[in-house]
């Protein structure tokens, strides 16, 4: 009877484009195996399989040109927005910066309630890549929110009332949460971030009703290689511990391996599969001198859904040295890769290191790995899927240009899979990085501890044309990748890197937002551009689609930030103007508009004369690169997310500068004191460098 019901629902869905609004939760969950979202968008990747593909096809290749703005909603933030809107029972739940959650009428955009978890703004200093949040999970009228400061909260979906809240991390350490929770059975799963600053990663499962911890899986060894009393104890003792040495910064800085994004539930095999992040520090020679592969860094790991017990792993980058996380989108699908071309359930990922991987979902067996962007760090993979490294790419004291760089060939922006075309749509990029070991490295609390020199290759006086050359080497594209033939079907080149996540639909469409503010619809088969609209703010977040009262909507959150936006302001000319993030929803024949950004333009002029000799300015450049660049931009050029220090009136006055930099006068805005890292003389050298860059800006 159960099989008959499932088959009946499949036929009904094919006919009407989505399940009835009153379909029981259990029935909705069983349909998740199909991999495609329906009239609602109830989970981060659309369904358990996280294919980000919708069966809705009211909007298709023939009528997408009629898309218009149905409504907009102001998220009231100028910081990064990376949220996937969740749509359930006619309500959209979308997060903005500082983990603020907004509940909206999905048809009109009317605000229903707002939950602000009141994050201490000083916690922003712990966030490697802006104070972003990627979304929520929902189950049985309860919304689950991961908060930047490490809390996991459960809220009444109708009212926003807080039901329970648990701290999932040690708040004395630089942990953060930016990823979306996942609900699996009667548990809510959440990871964390912070490996740039120095933490030990893990994935935790909590009871959906009480918030009680059910299990935890650590991804790297206990510093003493002792048991934790956790689900990971056996796997660490047998598999991971022998791949780490007994000395190095990892013992003090945790080793890294944070699970900061991808988590999927493989319902067929009743397992949770998740991606593990980079090492802490990045530099393996500092992290673990003389050690081995450092499992489970940069790995895809599968564990039993009920207990968290280890099932299998595959390491994409052994002994990670470049911040090559494996936390990027994990997609489950059935591909004709079995014996005789029969369907085989697989795991697909395109992580930072530039290879597209296909693994057997049940065993983790390596099936294929193919470069999808140019690389300089390897010459390929061996028969077992292990990278064949270019020796020079493992940087030490000599400067090495590495591609992909730490921003990756594909970062957090989700890719999508269309089971009809058989194609994976990847928001890919090329962002090379000059890398060199940091000769001054020493672990510092609540500061970036990578072991890599961020001033590598830079001088206060760049050669003529250097900035233009840097920009020319940075590329972005949308790739339609055939995972069976292991090659691109088509490619669309973008103006630059760091574009938005992707949505696929049964209407034959692929939607992607771009850094320049456009939302674009492409033909899923050919890549031909069919429609686009300027949303007046950069888009990094992925779109979703849903149906209300018989009409299909496409929605996306705007407002860009995160790693590239903070660190790579030099990539933009003219500078990216500040903008307020919004949710913008579209439907056929709607006539709305996107309002202009309400922020005043920046007075981009120096506020004080340049000062200091070449030696002082050079010293300031090094201190700036080590302490400021990851938030305020390399070369002291901001991208509009955080203040451009070159134009700040604070830089004009040494006393005001010292109050902010050394005494934390702007702590309530996330600018904490750097007195433990910078002397007064160091801080003044940084000011000299900032003003030097301000006066050089016109040239």
Angle of CA points 415, 418, 419, to nearest 5°: 135
More confident residue, 561 or 363: 363
Mean per-residue pLDDT, 592-609: 84
pLDDT tens-place string over residues 164-191: 999 999 999 999 999 999 999 999 999 9
Is 36 within a domain?
Answer: yes
Integer angstrom CA distances of residue 683 from 465, 569, 617, 619, 624? 29, 22, 11, 10, 9
Residue pair 671/662 in contact by the 8 Å Cβ criterion: no
User: 550 — alpha (psi -120 to 50), left (phi > 0) or beta?
Assistant: left
Q: In what order do the strands lie in the sheet with 213-218?
A: 182-184, 187-190, 202-207, 213-218
Does residue 120 lie in a domain region? Answer: no
pLDDT at 513 over 50: yes
Residue 644: give the domain boundaries.
Answer: 614-696
pTM, whole model, 2 decimals?
0.91
- Rounded-to-integer distance, Cα 233 and Cα 241, Å: 10
Active site residues: 323
Q: DSSP assignment, residue 597?
A: P
Look at residue 30 and tell me if it is in a domain. yes
Average pLDDT over residues 280-286: 96
Query: Which of 274, 520, 469, 485 lies closest to 372 in space, CA to CA?
Result: 485
Asked whether the bond before 243 is cis by omega within 30 degrees of 0, the reply is no
Model confidence over 333-384: pLDDT tens digits? 999 999 999 999 999 999 999 999 999 999 999 999 999 999 999 999 999 9
Residue 631 lies in a domain: yes
First to last CA, the chain: 75
pLDDT of residue 635: 77
What local confidence, expressed as pLDDT, does residue 103 receive?
Answer: 98
- 211's tokens: 């918030």
Interatomic CA distance for residues 433 and 120, integer angstroms: 33
CATH number of the domain that residue 660 is part of:
1.10.760.10
pLDDT tier at 14, thresholds 50, 70, 90 = very low
In a domain, 7, yes or no: yes
* Consecutive H or E run containing 284: helix 284-287
When the pLDDT of each residue in the chain is averaged and rounded to a whole number, the result is 90
Other Cβ atoms closer than 10 A to 120 = 13
What pLDDT is attached to residue 648? Answer: 87
Residue 88 pLDDT greater than 70, yes or no: yes
Average pLDDT over residues 435-442: 90
Tell me, yes or no, whether 50 lies in a domain.
yes
For the sheet with 330-335, list strands across it: 330-335, 344-349, 355-360, 366-371
Does 663 reside within a domain?
yes
pLDDT at 10 over 60: no
Q: How far apart are CA 340 and CA 594, in angstroms?
A: 52
Greater model confidence, 606 or 546: 546
When divided into structural domains, the chain yields a total of 2
Please report whether residue 76 resides in a domain: no
pLDDT, residue 184, reads 97
Measured from the Cβ of residue 419, the count of other Cβ atoms closer than 10 Å reads 18
Least confident of 17-21, 22-26, 83-87, 304-308: 17-21
Name which of 45, 82, 189, 77 is nearest 413 in CA terms: 82
- pLDDT value for 568: 65
Asked whether the predicted pLDDT for residue 633 surpasses 80, the reply is no
């Amino acid at each position: 009877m159960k099989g008959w019901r499932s088959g009946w629902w499949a036929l009904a869905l094919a006919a009407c484009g989505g399940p009835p609004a009153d379909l029981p939760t259990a029935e909705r969950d069983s349909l998740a195996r199909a991999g495609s979202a329906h009239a609602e968008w109830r989970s981060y990747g659309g369904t358990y399989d996280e294919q980000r593909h919708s069966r809705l096809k009211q909007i298709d290749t023939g009528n997408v040109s009629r898309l218009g703005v149905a409504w907009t909603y102001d998220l009231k933030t100028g910081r990064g927005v990376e949220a996937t809107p969740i749509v359930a029972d006619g309500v959209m739940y979308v997060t903005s910066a500082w983990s603020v959650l907004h509940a909206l009428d999905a048809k009109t955009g009317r605000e229903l309630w707002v939950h602000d978890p009141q994050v201490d703004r000083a916690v922003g200093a712990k966030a490697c890549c802006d104070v972003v949040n990627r979304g929520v999970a929902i189950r049985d009228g309860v919304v689950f929110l991961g908060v930047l400061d490490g809390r996991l909260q459960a809220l009444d979906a109708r009212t926003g009332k807080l039901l329970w809240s648990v701290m999932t991390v040690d708040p004395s350490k630089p942990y953060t949460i930016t990823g979306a929770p996942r609900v699996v059975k009667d548990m809510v799963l959440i990871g964390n971030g912070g490996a740039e600053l120095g933490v030990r990663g893990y994935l935790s499962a909590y009871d959906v009703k009480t918030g009680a911890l059910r299990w935890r899986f650590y991804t790297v060894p206990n510093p003493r290689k002792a048991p934790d009393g956790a689900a990971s104890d056996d796997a660490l003792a047998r598999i991971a511990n022998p791949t780490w040495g007994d000395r190095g910064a990892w013992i003090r800085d945790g080793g890294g391996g944070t699970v900061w994004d991808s988590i999927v539930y493989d319902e067929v095999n009743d397992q949770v599969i998740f991606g593990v992040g980079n090492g802490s520090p990045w530099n393996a020679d500092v992290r673990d001198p003389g050690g081995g592969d450092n499992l489970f860094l940069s790995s895809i790991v599968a564990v039993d859904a009920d207990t968290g017990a280890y099932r299998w792993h595959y390491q994409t980058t052994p002994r990670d040295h470049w911040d090559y996380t494996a936390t990027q989108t994990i997609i489950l699908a059935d591909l004709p890769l079995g014996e005789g071309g029969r369907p085989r359930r697989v795991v697909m990922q395109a992580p930072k290191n530039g290879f597209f991987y296909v693994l057997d979902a049940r065993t983790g067996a390596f099936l294929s790995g193919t470069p999808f962007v140019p690389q300089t760090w390897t010459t390929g993979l061996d028969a077992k899927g292990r990278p064949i490294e270019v020796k020079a790419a493992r940087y030490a004291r000599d400067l090495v240009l590495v591609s992909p760089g730490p921003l990756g060939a594909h970062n957090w922006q989700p890719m999508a899979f269309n089971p009809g075309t058989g194609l994976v749509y990847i928001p890919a990029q090329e962002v090379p990085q000059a890398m060199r070991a940091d000769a001054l490295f020493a672990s510092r609390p609540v500061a970036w501890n990578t072991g890599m020199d961020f001033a590598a290759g830079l001088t206060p006086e760049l050669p003529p044309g250097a900035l233009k050359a840097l920009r020319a080497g940075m590329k972005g594209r949308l790739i339609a990748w055939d995972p069976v033939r292991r090659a691109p079907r088509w490619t669309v080149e973008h103006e630059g890197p760091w574009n938005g996540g992707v949505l696929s639909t049964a209407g034959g469409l692929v939607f992607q937002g771009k850094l320049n503010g456009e939302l674009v619809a492409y033909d899923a088969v050919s890549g031909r551009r069919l429609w686009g609209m300027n949303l007046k703010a950069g888009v990094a977040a992925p779109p979703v689609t849903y149906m209300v009262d018989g009409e299909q909507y496409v929605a996306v959150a705007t407002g860009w930030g995160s790693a590239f936006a903070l660190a790579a302001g030099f990539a933009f000319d003219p500078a990216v103007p500040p903008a307020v993030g919004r949710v913008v929803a579209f439907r056929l024949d709607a006539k709305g508009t996107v309002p202009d950004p309400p922020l005043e333009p920046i007075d981009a002029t120096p506020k004080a004369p340049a000062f200091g000799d070449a030696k002082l300015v050079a010293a300031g450049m090094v201190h700036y690169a080590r302490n400021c660049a990851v938030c305020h931009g390399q070369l002291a050029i901001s991208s509009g997310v955080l203040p451009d220090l070159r134009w700040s009136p604070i830089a004009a006055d040494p006393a005001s500068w010292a109050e902010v930099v050394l005494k934390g006068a702007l702590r309530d805005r996330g600018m904490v004191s750097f007195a433990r890292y910078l002397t007064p003389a160091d801080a003044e050298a940084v000011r000299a460098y900032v003003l030097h860059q301000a006066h050089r800006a016109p040239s």
